[in-house]
């Protein structure tokens, strides 16, 4: 490569601490200029008041951090709920994105306990289409995360959603650990199919044996191969740390920051091996 690829490092602040000031301090210490917001002060982003959003904006501005994405819980509900239920909540997520200047909102594609994926497919597409239509024209892109046990947990159904909705406001957030936890080899079995829609990278890894989450590059998530392929394809977007390692590093009140540092250093090794820098 003639030039080093540069990606933008971000991470889930609430995996560090409930206090956004601590979240911001750790992200800056790791060299990140962005943060992904899921909650602060113990309050989910879609439940924050205008006052809380304004205060959070001030905290992040003071730290010199921008927001890469709103990590919303939209779509992490049963598909049997009315379409309007999540569209209304998305409105609150869009307001948070507006206040915080976030270009992306993470969403999911619904639980369906007691039914088959085939039975709920049309209902899922209807709801995902409604969400995408709500986001169109706002300047914000919804990114679907392949969470286990939702409709879009395997590559073929993720592709079905994105291609059926066919909206510029709905793209893919790639989570290798979640693919591993449903028995999918991420790069081998999903990358080629989903790369045309992939605009956001979430960084965590997992083991096929038991599904345990581990630092990036230490599991079966084919993280290095994926990073190399993204590099070669010209990807220049966000890489957002979502360690999920606290249970493995029980060190009292500091388990969040400590585990986050472990995750960041592990991913830095992967990036170094692939010749990718973060800014």
CATH class of 5-278: alpha beta
In this structure, are residues 45 and 71 in contact, taking their beta carbons and an 8 Å threshold?
yes
At residue 187, the pLDDT reads 98
| Domain residue ranges in the chain | 5-278
At residue 161, the pLDDT reads 99
At residue 215, the pLDDT reads 94
Whether the predicted model's global pTM rises above the 0.85 cut: yes
In this structure, are residues 1 and 277 in contact, taking their beta carbons and an 8 Å threshold?
no
At residue 171, the pLDDT reads 99
At residue 4, the pLDDT reads 86
At residue 252, the pLDDT reads 46
At residue 248, the pLDDT reads 59
Q: Which residues contact 268 (CB under 8 A, 6 or more apart)?
A: 278
At residue 258, the pLDDT reads 86
**278: DSSP letter:** E
At residue 256, the pLDDT reads 82
**189: DSSP letter:** I
In this structure, are residues 37 and 10 in contact, taking their beta carbons and an 8 Å threshold?
no
Tens digit of each residue's pLDDT, the chain (279 residues): 447 899 999 999 999 999 999 999 999 999 999 999 999 999 999 999 999 999 999 999 999 999 999 999 999 999 999 999 999 999 999 999 999 999 999 999 999 999 999 999 999 999 999 999 999 999 999 999 999 999 999 999 999 999 999 999 999 999 999 999 999 999 999 999 999 999 999 999 999 999 999 999 999 999 999 999 999 999 999 999 998 886 655 544 455 888 899 999 999 999 999 999 999
At residue 272, the pLDDT reads 97
Q: How many Cβ atoms from other residues are within 10 Å of residue 123's Cβ?
A: 16
């Amino acid at each position: 490569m003639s030039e080093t690829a540069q990606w933008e490092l971000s991470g889930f602040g609430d995996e560090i601490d409930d206090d956004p000031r601590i979240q911001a301090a750790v992200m800056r210490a790791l060299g990140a200029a962005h943060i992904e917001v899921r909650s602060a002060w113990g309050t989910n982003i879609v439940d924050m008041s205008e006052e809380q959003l304004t205060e959070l904006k001030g905290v992040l501005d003071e730290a010199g951090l921008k927001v890469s994405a709103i990590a919303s819980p939209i779509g992490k509900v049963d598909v049997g709920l009315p379409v309007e239920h999540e569209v209304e909540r998305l409105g609150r997520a869009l307001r948070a994105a507006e206040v915080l200047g976030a270009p992306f909102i993470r969403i999911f594609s619904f639980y369906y306990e007691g039914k088959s994926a085939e039975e709920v497919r049309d209902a899922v597409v209807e709801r995902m289409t409604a969400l995408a239509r709500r986001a169109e024209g706002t300047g914000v892109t919804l990114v679907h995360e392949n969470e286990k046990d939702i409709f879009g947990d395997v590559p073929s159904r993720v592709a079905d959603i994105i291609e059926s909705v066919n909206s510029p406001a709905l793209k893919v957030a790639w989570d290798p650990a979640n693919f591993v936890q449903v028995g999918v080899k991420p790069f081998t079995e999903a990358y080629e199919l989903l790369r045309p829609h992939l605009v956001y990278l979430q960084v965590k890894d997992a083991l096929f044996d038991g599904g345990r989450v581990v630092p990036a590059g230490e599991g079966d998530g084919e993280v290095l191969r994926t990073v190399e392929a993204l590099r070669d394809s010209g990807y220049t977007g966000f890489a957002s740390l979502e360690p999920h390692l606290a249970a493995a590093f029980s060190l009292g009140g500091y388990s969040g920051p400590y585990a986050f540092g472990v995750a960041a250093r592990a991913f830095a090794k992967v990036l170094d091996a692939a010749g990718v820098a973060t800014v």
